[in-house]
Amino acid sequence: MTKLTPAQISEMAKTLHRARCEKFEVEPFSKEMGTYDLEDAYKVQAEGINLRIESGEKIIGYKMGLTSKAKMEQMGLHTPIFGVLTNVMHLENHAPFSLTPFLHPKAEPEIYFITNQDLSGSLSLEDVPRVCEKIGVALEILDSRYKGFKYFSLPDVIADNASSSHFVLGDSVPGSTVLDWPQLKIDLLSNTEIVESATGDAILGHPFLSLCSLVELLAQNGKSLPKGSVVLAGAATIATALQAEQIIKGQLQNVGSAVFPVVP
């Protein structure tokens, strides 16, 4: 396994940053240098986020990735990961999404949390309703910087900020709302047609466990989750490719929906 030098980490982060800003594809790093470890992959991710902060963006939360069996099978990977969300990535519900500046845009339905206090160390499933201001339905838009958006390693995914691009926060309920979250139906619709469907338990067996896992993963990286953070729990279904003239909707039973039209 290759151990990255600080110079390599910096250069990889700059390459991915340029690829995102200038909209060009790059070869997966592991294809050229071999497998590198997750610790170094998260360092590349952090360097990339620092470049975004230097350009004026602000961290507002995190996303969990590879939390569903369907998603793991689609990507050929098997370990939950996290990425970082910034304010520039947030699209208002019902606002149009233009395909033009993106390489491989896909969408997936998610459950999201907004925390009401700082969280660190560990969190139990039973704690989640108490520490969340609201829980709702979201859509995440993915867009990899790697050629073809496939056949890359777990470290490559992490380095590229877990393939994150944008997200839409839809309807929500107070965190204390009593619902059978693992059994709530989650649908992804394209022009009123359901194209993917699952239930909440597709996310780690219980969507609340995604927030618990994130707090633990952040602790392992010496970080905590600030009050007011947005957390995307991870997709319950596989992602669908976006095309112009679609209306994409994520629908969560007993909660509501998140929507965006796709334009050229």
Lay out the sheet containing 185-190: strands in order across: 97-98, 256-263, 247-252, 185-190, 193-199
Query: CA separation (Å) from 47 to 8, 14, 65, 145, 231?
Result: 11, 8, 19, 16, 21
Count of domains for the chain: 1
142 part of a folded domain: yes
In tens, the pLDDT along 157-212 reads 999 999 999 999 999 999 999 999 999 999 999 999 999 999 999 999 999 999 99
35 part of a folded domain: no
47 part of a folded domain: no
Average pLDDT for the chain: 93
141 part of a folded domain: yes
User: Which domain, by its residues, includes 132?
Assistant: 59-263
123 part of a folded domain: yes
53 part of a folded domain: no
48 part of a folded domain: no
46 part of a folded domain: no
CATH of the domain at 141: 3.90.850.10
pTM of the full structure = 0.94
